[in-house]
Amino acid sequence: MSTAFSADARNERVGSSHEPANSGPLERFSYDDAIVRKFLVAMLVWGIVGMLVGLIIALQLALPYLPEVKGAKPLSFLYETSWLNFGRLRPLHTNAVIFAFAGNAIFAGIYYSTQRLCKARMWSDKLSSLHFWGWQAIIVSAAITLPLGITQGKEYAELEWPIDLAIAVVWLGFFGTNFLMTLVKRRERHMYVALWFYIASLVTVTILHVFNNLSLPYALAQVLSGNTPTKEGFVKSWPVYAGVQDAFMQWWYGHNAVAFFLTTPFLGLMYYFLPKAAERPVYSYRLSIVHFWSLVFMYIWAGPHHLHYTSLPAWASTLGMLFSVMLWMPSWGGMINGLLTLRGAWQKVSQDPVLKFFVIAITFYGMATFEGPMLSIKSVNSLSHYTDWTIAHVHSGALGWNGFLAFGMMYWLLPRLFQTPLWSKKLMAAHFWIGTIGMVMYVIPMYAAGITQGLMWRAFDESGSLQYNDFVQTVNAIVPFYWLRALGGTLYLAGAVFGAVNMFMTWKARPAAYEVPVHSAPALTPFYSDPPRPASRLGEGNLAIGHDADVFVQGWWHRVWERKPIKFTLLTLLAVLLASLFEMIPTFLIKSNVPTIASVKPYTPLELHGRDVYIAEGCYNCHSQMIRPIWAETKRYGEYSKGGESVYDHPFQWGSRRIGPDLAREGGIKSHDWHVRHFENPRQLIAQSIMPSYKHLLESKIDFKDTETRVRAMAMLGVPYGEMVKEGVASAYAQAQAEQIAADLVQQGGYEDMQDKKVIALTAYIQRLGIDISKPDDWDPYEKFRDRATKILAARNGEADKVASSTTKVNSGGAK
């Protein structure tokens, strides 16, 4: 009997309770597959969008090398348009593929498998639907704000505060509640290991998101300083952390986002969908449990490996390295477990592209989790960090592991969700092959590029000077690899498009009405008694504690609480939270971790403006500001960076990639004129530069009315601005410095009337980078334009006198 389903029969009881006390009355229910269909379609649509953006930014790095055709470079608009430039689109690419493609894939898989593993419909259809639409709305708002330069300036956490709030609500409020309540209401007593992975992901991602995004919204700063919030107030914020602490937070977040957004949920999917597709149970369930606990216990400590040789305290980065290396073992345990699940089924693998997708995915999981620990070893890291090696590593994980697992799952689900055979098995096989070739063509050139770059940066000639002194030489060398990478990416994207065609055609062949099978299972009752506590196996004469230990080792406690979702969740939460706190508290509270430097002073108000331009343009996507204490590096860039130098940096801008040179000591090296000319179009000065043009910064204006609030916001976060926060002072100083630079510009090369343009603020900021430590302790950053600022203030006060004959003389002393 198969009943098409009416809404009120979704969770219907059958008969009364004449079953034994251990199980409740038989209940009838059906699964909500409509929500799975939605998430699956969203996954593929956003996946294609995200990959397309990836392809565009890949081309941006190669296109400037094309010869001119009829006096213009082909497709140059791609790197000369403000909202298309690399610094803005790269965050869009990463956010789209992580949170939209992988995110929707996770949700599709979780909604499908959780219902079945729990023998229960999702707790609330309304929450499922709010979750779906809420998440898509977040993605759309990301796609709008990021190209506009609205960003927090922290990798993979770029979205601004109102969106962050929405993410918290949708993730924990809608998805979390719905998921956990489904677990509570489940009809299968044992929680299968996939569910554990989902729980850990849910919990940890919440913590990561909340703590990394703690920030002072601009709107709040405006209110606190007595103004009404403006539009800008809702699209700008500054993290409460600065410098070393912000870096630590960010990479604790960044690394664990990889762990708990791209690894654990996908492992949950693997442990569910692989046995399903192979039609055999996982090779070793116990290994999967060990796999789970190892990841939960170890991953959370590994973040600092992103910050080797930086100003992070040494103990933290060594700890990060140790745990990263330890992670290799359980990860491979998981890989082997996955592959051995297919033992005796390799015949099937050769015929079923779904299993092929899974095999490649698991293999890439193994490769990426071997490479990760390797890259976290300091000596390897000194070569690989800041190069394209990182990009290769990330993409072997993302394209291979996440992408192929998602696609395998998709092809397994399509006939089941649309209740009709897959439109074309051939096209699915074609997707598999073109995707695999694309992946290899992406990853190998990027390894080559990364190693080439790393070796060139550190190469010395016989005379002991840098062999490739000019940074752009090291860019020239890898552009051919950039072309190959773009080609590989195109193939991979083509595969995804095959998938979309297949999905669309399968959908078209769906039945007129979906069949909704009815299932039945006894309810769980609260009267269920867990197995009794086992007796100790030790003989008489042992201490009580010995008996207790033996009982503990028999693991009865684990069996009991692994069935209790809420307790299980709380314990996972505790494990993750404790590890994080223990790791972070010392960094935040021990003074010796970030030694202060007396000559390091806060940025001037104009530089602060410039810094916000730097963040908005996403310069950190191409430029680091962190010179490592490595010979080749101090030789190229100057004195290595100290932790005390970025204590006023909310957010830190150390960066993680050097597509362009490090800028930590850029201040004072070149003239203002050079910088403005370079921003206008880098190829005016360096023919082979692949840096985007920033023409728009020569046109758009600095909003000096903003200056006060920006400075006050920094002061609220603890930056010592002294007198500068008083009404009118900061803007006068900003204006004075801008006029000063504009006057210099006229002298140096002829740019006129620039005193209110954003490029001036940016130049001011760049010229400040890294100069403080070579100054005397009592130097005055305002010296050059203090007189000018005093005059502006006096003039303004004079005017105010005329208008409202009452004045409070503002001290123009400025800040120290």
The contact set with another protein (CB under 8 A) reads 1-2, 28, 113, 116-117, 119, 188, 190, 192-194, 271-272, 275-276, 279-282, 284-286, 289-290, 293-294, 297, 301, 315, 319, 415-416, 419-421, 508-512, 515, 517-520, 552-555, 558-559, 575, 578-579, 582-583, 585-586, 589-592
Measured from the CB atom, the residue of 391 and 406 that comes closer to ligand HEC is: 391
Q: How far is the CB of 146 from another protein (least distance, A)?
A: 35
Measured from the CB atom, the residue of 569 and 604 that comes closer to another protein is: 569
Stretch that binds ligand HEC, among 179-187, 234-242, 255-263, 659-667 (CB under 6 A): 659-667
Residue 346: which H helix or E strand, with range?
helix 346-351
Measured from the CB atom, the residue of 175 and 620 that comes closer to ligand HEC is: 620
User: What tokens appear for 6 in the block?
Assistant: 């009416």
Distance (Å, whole) CA 55 – CA 51 = 6
Site string for ligand HEC, 201-230 (x = CB under 6 A): ------------------------------
Measured from the CB atom, the residue of 65 and 293 that comes closer to another protein is: 293
Distance (Å, whole) CA 763 – CA 228 = 30
Main-chain phi, psi angles of 72, to 5 degrees:
-140, 150
Distance (Å, whole) CA 617 – CA 83 = 9
Measured from the CB atom, the residue of 22 and 473 that comes closer to another protein is: 22
Q: How far is the CB of 766 from ligand HEC (least distance, A)?
A: 5
477 lines the binding site for ligand HEC (CB under 6 A): no
Helix (H, G, I), strand (E, B) or coil at 302: coil
Measured from the CB atom, the residue of 227 and 634 that comes closer to ligand HEC is: 634
Please pick, from the candidates 92, 262, 659, 792, the single residue that binds ligand HEC as defined by CB under 6 A.
659
With both helix axes pointing from N to C terminus, report the angle between 479-508 and 425-457 in degrees, rounded to the nearest 10: 160
Q: 766: closest CA among 600, 601, 604, 614?
A: 614
Measured from the CB atom, the residue of 559 and 705 that comes closer to another protein is: 559
User: What tokens appear for 88 in the block?
Assistant: 């803005």
Main-chain phi, psi angles of 520, to 5 degrees:
-140, 145
Considering CB distances under 5 to 8 angstroms, the limit depending on partner class, which of ligand HEC, another protein, none binds residue 402? none
661 lines the binding site for ligand HEC (CB under 6 A): yes
Please pick, from the candidates 621, 653, 737, 812, the single residue that binds ligand HEC as defined by CB under 6 A.
621
Q: 91: closest CA among 162, 160, 169, 171?
A: 160
Please pick, from the candidates 666, 706, 708, 772, the single residue that binds ligand HEC as defined by CB under 6 A.
666
| 229 preceded by a cis bond (ω within 30 of 0) | no
Measured from the CB atom, the residue of 290 and 339 that comes closer to another protein is: 290
Distance (Å, whole) CA 194 – CA 185 = 17
User: What tokens appear for 225 in the block?
Assistant: 């300083």
Amino acid at 7: A
Burial class (CB in 10 A: 0-12, 13-18, 19+), 701: exposed
Main-chain phi, psi angles of 553, to 5 degrees:
-65, -30
Stretch that binds ligand HEC, among 15-23, 234-242, 517-525, 686-694 (CB under 6 A): 686-694
Residue 18: which H helix or E strand, with range?
none
694 lines the binding site for ligand HEC (CB under 6 A): yes
Measured from the CB atom, the residue of 455 and 600 that comes closer to another protein is: 600
Q: How far is the CB of 90 from ligand HEC (least distance, A)?
A: 8
Q: How far is the CB of 515 from another protein (least distance, A)?
A: 5
Q: How far is the CB of 419 from another protein (least distance, A)?
A: 5
Question: Residues 748, 672: contact at Cβ < 8 Å?
Answer: yes
Measured from the CB atom, the residue of 126 and 537 that comes closer to another protein is: 537
87 lines the binding site for ligand HEC (CB under 6 A): yes
Question: Which residues have C-beta within 8 Å of that of residue 55, sequence separation ≥ 6?
Answer: 486, 489, 490, 493
Distance (Å, whole) CA 315 – CA 331 = 24
How do strand 23-29 and strand 519-524 relate by DSSP bridges?
antiparallel
Q: How far is the CB of 626 from ligand HEC (least distance, A)?
A: 15
Question: Residues 448, 481: contact at Cβ < 8 Å?
Answer: yes
Distance (Å, whole) CA 185 – CA 121 = 9
Q: How far is the CB of 650 from ligand HEC (least distance, A)?
A: 18
Question: Which residues have C-beta within 8 Å of that of residue 720, sequence separation ≥ 6?
Answer: 602, 815, 816
692 lines the binding site for ligand HEC (CB under 6 A): yes
611 lines the binding site for ligand HEC (CB under 6 A): no
Distance (Å, whole) CA 48 – CA 439 = 15
Q: How far is the CB of 600 from ligand HEC (least distance, A)?
A: 21
Q: 126: closest CA among 163, 174, 92?
A: 174
Please pick, from the candidates 93, 305, 385, 623, the single residue that binds ligand HEC as defined by CB under 6 A.
623
Considering CB distances under 5 to 8 angstroms, the limit depending on partner class, which of ligand HEC, another protein, none binds residue 579? another protein
Amino acid at 85: N
Question: What ranges in 22-160 are assigned the alpha helix state H?
Answer: 34-60, 86-95, 103-118, 125-145
Residue 522: which H helix or E strand, with range?
strand 519-524
Considering CB distances under 5 to 8 angstroms, the limit depending on partner class, which of ligand HEC, another protein, none binds residue 272? another protein
Question: Which residues have C-beta within 8 Å of that of residue 348, sequence separation ≥ 6?
Answer: 278, 342, 355
Please pick, from the candidates 175, 471, 498, 733, the single residue that binds ligand HEC as defined by CB under 6 A.
471
479 lines the binding site for ligand HEC (CB under 6 A): no
Residue 33: which H helix or E strand, with range?
none
Considering CB distances under 5 to 8 angstroms, the limit depending on partner class, which of ligand HEC, another protein, none binds residue 282? another protein
Long-range contacts, stretch 169-176, CB < 8 angstroms, 24+ apart: 169/134, 170/130, 170/131, 170/134, 170/135, 170/138, 171/202, 171/205, 171/206, 171/209, 172/202, 172/206, 174/127, 174/130, 174/131, 174/134, 175/107, 175/127, 175/131, 175/135, 175/202, 176/202, 176/206
**Among residue numbers 483 through 522, which ones bind ligand HEC (CB under 6 A)?**
none
Considering CB distances under 5 to 8 angstroms, the limit depending on partner class, which of ligand HEC, another protein, none binds residue 511? another protein
Burial class (CB in 10 A: 0-12, 13-18, 19+), 174: buried
686 lines the binding site for ligand HEC (CB under 6 A): yes
- Bridge partners (DSSP) of residue 28 are 12, 520
Measured from the CB atom, the residue of 270 and 491 that comes closer to another protein is: 270
Burial class (CB in 10 A: 0-12, 13-18, 19+), 586: middle
Measured from the CB atom, the residue of 165 and 574 that comes closer to another protein is: 574
Considering CB distances under 5 to 8 angstroms, the limit depending on partner class, which of another protein, ligand HEC, none binds residue 81? none
Please pick, from the candidates 366, 495, 682, 770, the single residue that binds ligand HEC as defined by CB under 6 A.
682
Considering CB distances under 5 to 8 angstroms, the limit depending on partner class, which of ligand HEC, another protein, none binds residue 515? another protein
Considering CB distances under 5 to 8 angstroms, the limit depending on partner class, which of ligand HEC, another protein, none binds residue 472? ligand HEC
**Total of residues contacting ligand HEC (CB under 6 A):** 27
Give the CA dihedral 787, 788, 790, 794, nearest 10 degrees.
140
Q: How far is the CB of 614 from ligand HEC (least distance, A)?
A: 5
Considering CB distances under 5 to 8 angstroms, the limit depending on partner class, which of ligand HEC, another protein, none binds residue 13? none
Considering CB distances under 5 to 8 angstroms, the limit depending on partner class, which of ligand HEC, another protein, none binds residue 333? none
* List of residues contacting ligand HEC (CB under 6 A): 86-87, 471-472, 475, 614, 617, 619, 621-623, 659-661, 663, 666, 669, 675, 682, 686, 689-692, 694, 762, 766
